Amino acid sequence: MAQEVKMPQLGLTMEEGTIETWHKKEGDRVAKGDILLEIATDKITSEIESEFDGVVLKIVAKEGEDVPVQGVIAIIGEEGEQVDAAKPSESLKETKAEESKPEVSVKTEVVVPATSQGGRVKISPLAKKTAEKFGVDYSVLAGSGPGGRIIQQDVLAAKDTVVVKEVKDTAPLSQDEKREGGIVLKGMRKVVAERMLQSHLEIPPVTQNMKIDVTKLIEFRKSINETREEKKFSINDFVLKAVAKALAKNPHIMVSLIDGQIFQNSNVNIGMAVSTDTGLIVPVINDADKLSLEALSAKAKDLALRARENKLDMDEYKGSTFTVSNLGMFGVESFTPIINQPDAAILGVCSVEDELALEEGNVVQKKKMKISLTYDHRLLDGAVAAKFQQEIKKLLENPMEILL
């Protein structure tokens, strides 16, 4: 009997996945536990095992295609079994039908939209994304959220009755229409692109740069590493530890804005930006403030290694309350990191540079490093962000305090 292979839900917030690579083709025999394909989500690329024994009768979703959770991606059955697999199953058909539903004309009374003083419609990011997905003209909706804000429930309730916006020339190019020489944006690179654009469009960011004298830190690190045969500490280890301590002292930095409400996070969970061959991913060091320098260093190195090998579990990408991105090893002197939502801020760590300075009338050589803090100006103000940076600066300029 034919069995449907469906898009699994790998996390509570996962709504869809992208078919990254098929390891089996139509006609191949598979056994339960065999790797069928790889899918990419907004967090990770995962290998998916077959739950059935049999033959791949039909591949419904092709590589690069986005499929909603529980949408059918393949059909497995007995060799020679006839299956009408030209169309996805009901769960997938219903979702696709919603996305391609023609313009709906309705007779309704004039609806007062939820607008701000500037005339802009007040709508949560999730509701806006859902409205765009189903083509709902949210400008005519009345919101049921705080202050008349439109929330996702309002959009879902209206998607079958509200006039759908006419969308022209926005359909994706077919495989035959792809421009010559181009590479299709898909998989993790596509996910990264979407998340970065969403963050950039939704958040009013401000970046503040601060220069730190790390001369003592470099000497301190060298003296410690001389006593260690292996597992030597990096500058990044000290930065992570200093950030963890500074966050514990300034918990107001760890806030999130979700559907118009501000949430205070209590755990110092540091997201650590890691560059891989397929894109940027952010594994999380949970309760970083409770870890010793040695434990923090070991955790950071382990996460980075397994991230590049695509061996992290889904839970290791969840729950960050602050993010650190280090480009210092590439000689970057200053940059503007993009906030990893729903965090309120991200710290960019830059390269260490030699500078000459006057000290008691003498010219001396110093090691200086910039840190670039980008924060959500809806949640944090400049003075608050600067005080947080000053705390990091104080710790890095007095490295013994990092360990105390």
Catalytic residues: 377, 381
Bond into 8 cis (ω within 30): no
**In Å, how far from its chain's centre is CA 347?**
15
AA identity, residue 277: D
Cα torsion 31, 34, 39, 43 to 10°: value is: 130
**Residue in the structure block whose two tokens are 């065999």:** 34
Amino acid present at 30? V
SS3 18: strand
The closest of 326, 366, 323 to 346, measured between CA atoms, is 323
Please give the helix or strand (H or E) that residue 126 lies within, else none. helix 125-134
Q: Count of CB atoms within 10 A of residue 304's CB?
A: 19
> Using an 8 Å Cβ cutoff, are 55 and 79 in contact?
yes
Distance of CA 46 to the CA centre of its chain: 16
Angstrom distance (rounded) from CA 51 to CA 46: 15
Listed residue (133, 8, 10) closest to 72, CA to CA: 8
Tokens 């009374």 map to which residue? 109
Per-residue buried b or exposed e for 264-280, using 16+ beta carbons within 10 Å of the residue's own CB: ebebbbbbbbbeeebbb
Strands in 179-335 per DSSP E = 205-213, 255-258, 261-264, 270-272, 274-275, 280-281, 284-285, 322-326
